[in-house]
Amino acid sequence: DAKTTQPPSMDCAEGRAANLPCNHSTISGNEYVYWYRQIHSQGPQYIIHGLKNNETNEMASLIITEDRKSSTLILPHATLRDTAVYYCIVRVEGSNYKLTFGKGTLLTVNP
């Protein structure tokens, strides 16, 4: 899997949008960008994934730059329960390839 780079920590006020960046400058053409989060020692939870188009689901939005070298995960209205470590992972879709977790971002949502 290509390597990703994320800031180690970020803070966000409750109710505001949280924008989590990720750099993946060596991403290959057939690799997708996945986002997972882990809330305090629970099992990691899938959030969203995309290839090159922006994606939105009930949890978040994913914005991928045109050159695909970076992306941003957006939590539109962060709540205290969104406090977690967020992992950006690149992976080939449609395979049983493992998810390789790097150093994620600890997002702390403050009241």
Partner 1 sequence: AAGVIQSPRHLIKEKRETATLKCYPIPRHDTVYWYQQGPGQDPQFLISFYEKMQSDKGSIPDRFSAQQFSDYHSELNMSSLELGDSALYFCASSLPPTPPEAFFGQGTRLTVV
Q: Is 10 helix (H, G, I), strand (E, B) or coil?
A: strand
Least Å distance, CB 27 to partner 1, is 16
Please give the Cα distance from 53 to 33 (Å, whole number). Answer: 11
Rule CB under 8 A: which of 59-98 touch partner 1? 85, 87, 93-98
Please give the Cα distance from 8 to 96 (Å, whole number). Answer: 28
| Of residues 15 and 28, the one with the C-beta less far from partner 1 | 28
Chain residues binding partner 1 by CB under 8 A are 32, 34, 38, 41-46, 49, 85, 87, 93-104
